[in-house]
Amino acid sequence: MIKSGIYVHLPFCRHKCHYCDFYSLAGAEDLIPHFLSALKQDINLSVASVNGWEFDSIYLGGGTPSLISADRLEPLLKQLHSRYSFADEVETTIEVNPGTVDEKQLRNYRAIGINRISIGAQSFLDDNLRFLTRIHDAGESINAVKAARAAGFDDLSCDLIYGLPGQTRAAWKKELQQAVDLAPDHLSCYNLTVEAGTELHDLVQAGKVSQPEDDTNADFFLTTVEYLDRHDYRQYEISNYARPGCESRHNLHYWRIEPYLGFGPSAHSFDGRRRWWNRNRLENYLETIAADTPPVKGLEILTDVELTNERIGFGLRMREGFNLNAIAENHRSLVEKNLAQAQIRFGDKINVEDKRVMLSAEGRLFAEQVAVELMIEG
């Protein structure tokens, strides 16, 4: 059986954070019932061939999935389980914004089979949360973690963002300490990126917000790896840290180039060779589905070379790296030749053990540069 996951994009938010480039809409919550009917149809219309796939993860992402109540999400989960073949144990995650939940609601999520929660805390300092234009304060983030534990979530992740203007290493370490004190099972620590098309991008362009130097971000990154490692959170991907056995099964599908299906506006799917993605504006998505047509906007068929390069690019993001034996046989010697060159340039930042190519923690700072050196042309 081929391990695979399902992603569902729920695109509603109470407010659009100024740094966010995910597809989401603020102030459109009254469309949720209509959207959920369309989503049901999106799943029914899917023609993806999933023979031999075994789904072991569902990820409810967004947007702010926690704007949708458990009784509205339950039919969606039931539909997925009746339509697809699932493993005995399924990791079912919901992303939660701390400003939108209480313990009762979290208990209801737990009761419909959601067994993993990802809490978008982002920071434990109110000034940072104001800068990020989040709708919640630090106290609400802490309460959300406690409420999720009380509601029975024993697989709990927190998101944090570093690299904010003026942030110091000491201040970031305090945030890490606060996170560790809350004892999540998993932490995602992202460097704030300024994406084109966001309000934050406009502010940076206008000189109203300054970005930290690359060296400062590198320092935050290495501080994070070292601090969390000392507290038993192992970095298993550039931005992700977990207690042993608590890695995100769903996200590993992406990084290991395993198949996944995506439903909802802007969601992507991949079958091991073809990648396709849905229309990314809600009105277009709804219109297409109303016409009984799958809401697919685009499709690409990866060449063998592109697949090899994806294996390298995603593999180097992970502690486990990638296995040279998983590279197509006719590409292997080319990759090995590039690897030999890269080892001269990057030295002990690259490790090779039993045909597995991995980067050291410091090396992961250079993952993109190393990947470019290893990738093949074609």
The footprint of ligand SF4 (CB under 6 A) covers 13, 16-17, 20, 22, 24, 62-64, 97, 120
Paired tokens of 245: 């056995």
Residue closer to ligand SF4 by CB (options 19, 53) is 19
Could you tell me the smallest distance in angstroms from the CB atom of residue 318 to ligand SF4?
24
Residue closer to ligand SF4 by CB (options 125, 342) is 125
Could you tell me the smallest distance in angstroms from the CB atom of residue 59 to ligand SF4?
14
Q: Where are the beta strands (DSSP E) in 123-172?
A: 156-162
Cis peptide before 99 (omega within 30 of 0): no
What is the distance in angstroms between the CA of the first residue and the CA of the last residue of the chain?
Answer: 31
Could you tell me the smallest distance in angstroms from the CB atom of residue 55 to ligand SF4?
24
Could you tell me the smallest distance in angstroms from the CB atom of residue 325 to ligand SF4?
39
- Scan for tokens 């369309």, then name that residue: 38
What residues form DSSP beta bridges with 94? 60, 117
DSSP sequence for 183-234: --SEEEEEE----TTSHHHHHHHTTSS-PPPHHHHHHHHHHHHHHHHHTT-E
Residue nearest to ligand SF4 as judged by C-beta position? 20
Note the maximum CA span of the chain.
58
Distance CA 227, CA 229 (A): 5
What percent of the chain is helix, strand and coil (3-state, nearest 5)? 45, 25, 30
Residue closer to ligand SF4 by CB (options 262, 363) is 262
Could you tell me the smallest distance in angstroms from the CB atom of residue 17 to ligand SF4?
3
What residues form DSSP beta bridges with 235? 241
Could you tell me the smallest distance in angstroms from the CB atom of residue 69 to ligand SF4?
17
Residue closer to ligand SF4 by CB (options 62, 212) is 62
Residue closer to ligand SF4 by CB (options 13, 176) is 13
Closest C-alpha among 39, 104, 44 to residue 70: 104
Is residue 92 a contact partner of residue 113, using CB atoms and an 8 Å limit? yes
Paired tokens of 206: 């206008």
Residue closer to ligand SF4 by CB (options 202, 306) is 202
DSSP structure class, residue 52: T
Could you tell me the smallest distance in angstroms from the CB atom of residue 159 to ligand SF4?
9
Could you tell me the smallest distance in angstroms from the CB atom of residue 258 to ligand SF4?
25
Residue closer to ligand SF4 by CB (options 134, 331) is 134
Distance CA 140, CA 138 (A): 5
Residue closer to ligand SF4 by CB (options 62, 363) is 62
Distance CA 51, CA 321 (A): 28
